């Protein structure tokens, strides 16, 4: 049996101290990026399924977690992961979940660095690539089973790389790894792709079949059959390939299915994590350059890894970590320093370390995510600005009974927090395209909604009003529904029953009729506190906890905040009893700022709510923005220091653009606001 021919490699020198520190700083940054509050919209159904199995109810065959899809087949390929996190949550709560997944992230990147050192990796380039890969993947650092898949993929590639380099490699571990992997997540098929790359690469190098690797690869193909669903569990991942089709409804509606190279779609979502997306684009460009070096060195296996794993990664934003995990060691082997700048190679680790440490400080203070207007927050608890925690607690207190109509993003959390079946949730493989389209029609049309309500006997409804302002308007104008709860994340409506008063949240009155805002308490106005400069706010991000959009935007006068409930300033206006804002026929500029996009599923159609109509007549000195991204920056970024004319208290005053929009957002939040001189200004709203 021929042994693999080792790839010729230069003598690997010990890693310099600066490079070691840069690698450590990059891993520290990865850990901090992963230590974020639990905000995955999928965490609820994973915990619910895990509890289902821990309670001795076995592996589900049809869907037991929705009342609308009970007859749909359910192949739960993530059951092992779900049992694990359910046990961790029972023992340590959300903190245990955060720490577990942060450990998975750190272990993955540490293993990638170790794999890269098996070949001719330049330690200075490796440090930079590790930092670049961390930034490119951080969008997916959430409580999701895919983090376990990334670690498993890194482990499989490490074993294969050791074998390719002629070092001792325990290949019998491969079938065991695939057995575990196939019972934890459907991405085990990525490991098969890695096996194929190394088998083909070995053959191209020596024109002989590596029989030992082929034998254990064959065993790895058979091992995943040992799962609760047998052959169905192995075939299931291939059924998900339809999501790559542009005509697929999920592809058209869900934001994480957008390509990272779809500049037009990402520009329409002005608050996407630009640094992460551009880091991935740079990584892909470097991968293209590394292919040349890999082919020259006849490292065909690594070249195939880059080519094969690039396809799913460039097609969908959610798949960007796949290429990073599979190809980072390959890039470190294929890239070399150009002769003209080789003398600067000793400076790169220092720059990487400094950048990683500074960025880690901003991550710790939440300034990094706030810069992109994202809702990720560093911490060990539940992220209540994303998950419908308050709404679920109200439903439990009010003991709302009967079938619910919930938004897809809320389904997972509700099925776990309320321990009852929901209408729909984020398991798209269970939902299917047909039912998903029916659900979307119900949200888009009051007639379709009524048909859905009558068909399923819906008694109450919960949805995020920031994403569906028109639905809020229709529900508020419909006498058959009563608003009973509102919080910064969602609203709850109850279907009216003759002679029965719905249980209303006692805090609802203060939300619908808050005390007026006194404008003189806002920064940037005549009597307000001085407005910190952009540089001052940037410096604060390194040492002080940050809030959205920034501390001075929420520093209203004490007389106006005493009776008002706490509410994130970036949230959309709270729903009123009739929600006239959502159904107004006015065609003027919307006064509310765009909501920050969610980390998880983000409907692509939500971009329409961030667009603005033609601005009113303005002076020549105030140049209005021309694109969605520029409009959004105009709304929230104080760096745009042009001055605009605004009418407050019946007199013109010149405001900083950021302060002007904050005034408008507060006026939208509270309907009308009283000024110090008794005047009123009611903002005009678009439909």
Q: How far apart are CA 156 and CA 194, in angstroms?
A: 8
Q: pLDDT-based confidence at 258, cuts 50/70/90?
A: confident
Q: Which two tokens stand for residue 327?
A: 């190809």
Q: Which pLDDT tens digit goes with each residue over 65-104? A: 999 988 888 889 999 999 999 999 999 999 999 999 999 9
Q: How far apart are CA 257 and CA 246, in angstroms?
A: 10
Print the SS3 string covering 220-264: HHHHHHCCCCCHHHHHHHHHHHHHHCCCCHHHHHEHHHCCCCCHH
Q: Is the pLDDT of residue 510 over 80?
A: no
pLDDT at 533: 74
Over residues 537-563, the mean pLDDT reads 55
pLDDT at 664: 44
Q: Which two tokens stand for residue 402?
A: 């009967």
The share of the chain scoring above pLDDT 90, in percent, equals 44
Classify burial at 538, counting beta carbons within 10 Å of its beta carbon; exposed 0-12, middle 13-18, buried 19 or more. middle
For 399: left if phi > 0, alpha if psi spans -120 to 50, otherwise beta; the answer is left
User: Taking a C-beta distance cutoff of 8 angstroms, is the pair 175, 224 a contact?
Assistant: no
List for the chain the helix, strand, coil content (%; round to 5): 55, 5, 40
pLDDT at 499: 66
Question: What are the angstrom distances between the C-alpha of 658 and each of 391, 533, 546, 663?
Answer: 31, 12, 17, 9
pLDDT at 553: 36
Phi, psi angle pair for 485, to nearest 5°: -155, 140
Q: Which pLDDT tens digit goes with each residue over 322-349? A: 999 999 999 999 988 877 777 778 888 9
Q: Write the CB contacts of 560 (distance below 8 Å, at least 6 apart in sequence).
A: 515, 516, 517, 518, 521
Residue 191: other Cβ atoms inside 10 A: 24
Residue 203: other Cβ atoms inside 10 A: 15
Q: Is the pLDDT of residue 117 over 70?
A: yes
Q: Is the pLDDT of residue 432 over 60?
A: yes
**Position with higher pLDDT, 147 vs 240:** 147
Q: Which pLDDT tens digit goes with each residue over 281-326? A: 999 999 999 999 999 999 999 999 999 999 999 988 889 999 999 9
User: Taking a C-beta distance cutoff of 8 angstroms, is the pair 144, 39 a contact?
Assistant: no
CATH number of 389-511: 3.40.50
pLDDT at 579: 41
Q: Which pLDDT tens digit goes with each residue over 353-407? A: 999 999 999 999 998 988 888 888 999 999 998 999 999 999 999 999 889 999 9
**Position with higher pLDDT, 512 vs 289:** 289
pLDDT at 476: 85
Taking the domains of the chain in order of start, what are their residue ranges? 17-39+93-371, 389-511, 519-613+635-681
* Closest-CA residue to 159 (of 115, 99, 224, 204): 115
**Position with higher pLDDT, 150 vs 545:** 150
Q: Is the pLDDT of residue 30 over 50?
A: yes
**Position with higher pLDDT, 604 vs 16:** 16
Pairing of strands 643-648, 460-463: unpaired
Q: Is the pLDDT of residue 630 over 50?
A: no
* Closest-CA residue to 574 (of 472, 486, 679): 486
Single pTM value for the model = 0.77
pLDDT at 338: 78
């Amino acid at each position: 049996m021929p042994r693999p021919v080792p790839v010729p490699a230069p003598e690997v020198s010990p890693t310099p101290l600066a490079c070691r520190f840069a690698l450590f700083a990059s891993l520290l940054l990865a850990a901090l990026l992963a230590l974020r509050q639990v905000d995955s919209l999928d965490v609820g159904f994973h915990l619910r399924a895990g509890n289902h199995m821990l309670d001795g109810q076995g592996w589900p065959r049809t869907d037991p977690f929705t009342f609308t899809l009970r007859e749909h087949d359910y192949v739960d390929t993530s059951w092992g992961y779900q049992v694990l996190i359910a046990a961790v949550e029972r023992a340590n709560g959300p903190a245990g979940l955060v720490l577990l997944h942060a450990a998975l992230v750190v272990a993955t990147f540490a293993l990638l660095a170790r794999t890269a050192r098996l070949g001719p990796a330049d330690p200075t380039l490796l440090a930079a690539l590790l930092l670049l890969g961390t930034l490119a993947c951080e969008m997916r650092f959430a409580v999701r089973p895919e983090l376990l898949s990334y670690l498993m993929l890194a482990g499989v590639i490490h074993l294969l790389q050791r074998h390719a380099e002629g070092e001792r490699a325990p290949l019998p571990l491969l079938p065991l790894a695939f057995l575990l992997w196939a019972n934890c997540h459907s991405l085990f098929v990525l490991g098969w792709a890695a096996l194929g790359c190394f088998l083909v690469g070995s053959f191209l190098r020596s024109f002989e079949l590596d029989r030992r690797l082929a034998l254990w690869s064959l065993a790895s193909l058979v091992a995943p059959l040992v799962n609760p669903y047998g052959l169905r569990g192995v075939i299931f991942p291939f059924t998900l390939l339809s999501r790559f089709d542009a005509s697929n409804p999920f592809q058209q509606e869900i934001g994480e299915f957008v390509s990272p190279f779809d500049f037009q779609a990402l520009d329409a979502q002005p608050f996407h994590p630009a640094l992460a997306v551009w880091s991935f684009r740079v990584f892909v460009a470097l991968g293209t350059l590394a292919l040349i070096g890999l082919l020259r060195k006849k490292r065909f296996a690594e070249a195939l890894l880059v080519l094969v794993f690039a396809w799913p990664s460039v097609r969908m934003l959610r798949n960007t970590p796949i290429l990073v995990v599979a190809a980072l060691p390959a890039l470190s082997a294929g890239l070399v320093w150009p002769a003209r700048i080789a003398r600067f190679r000793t400076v790169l680790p220092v720059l990487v370390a400094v950048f990683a440490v500074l960025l880690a400080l901003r991550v710790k203070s939440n300034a990094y995510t706030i810069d992109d207007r994202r809702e990720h927050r560093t911490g060990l608890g539940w992220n209540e600005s994303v998950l419908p925690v308050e709404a679920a607690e109200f439903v439990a207190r009010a003991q709302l009974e009967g079938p619910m109509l919930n938004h897809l993003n809320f389904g997972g959390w509700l099925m776990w927090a309320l321990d009852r079946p929901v209408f729909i949730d984020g398991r798209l493989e269970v939902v299917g395209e047909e039912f998903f389209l029916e659900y979307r029609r119900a949200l888009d049309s009051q007639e379709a909604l009524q048909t859905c309500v009558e068909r399923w006997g819906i008694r109450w409804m919960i949805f995020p009003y920031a994403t569906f302002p028109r639905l809020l308007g229709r529900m508020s104008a419909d006498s058959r529904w009563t608003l009973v709860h509102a919080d910064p994340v969602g609203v709850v409506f109850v279907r009216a029953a003759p002679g029965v008063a719905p249980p209303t949240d006692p805090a609802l009155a203060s939300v619908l009729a808050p005390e007026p805002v006194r404008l003189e308490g806002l920064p940037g106005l005549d009597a307000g506190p001085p407005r910190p400069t952009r540089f001052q706010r940037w410096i604060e991000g390194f040492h002080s906890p940050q809030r959205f959009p920034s501390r001075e935007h929420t520093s209203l006068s004490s007389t106006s905040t005493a009776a008002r409930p706490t509410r994130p300033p970036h949230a959309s206006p709270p729903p009123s009893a009739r929600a006239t804002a959502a159904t107004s026929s006015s065609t003027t500029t919307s006064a509310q700022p765009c909501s920050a996009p969610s980390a998880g599923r983000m409907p692509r159609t939500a971009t329409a709510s961030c667009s603005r109509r033609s601005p009113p007549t303005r002076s020549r000195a105030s140049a209005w923005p021309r694109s969605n991204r520029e409009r959004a920056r105009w709304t929230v970024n104080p760096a745009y220091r042009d001055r605009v004319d605004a009418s407050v208290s019946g007199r013109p005053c010149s405001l900083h653009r950021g302060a002007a929009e904050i005034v408008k957002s507060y006026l939208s939040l509270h309907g009308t606001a009283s000024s110090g001189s008794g005047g009123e200004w009611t903002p005009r709203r678009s439909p």
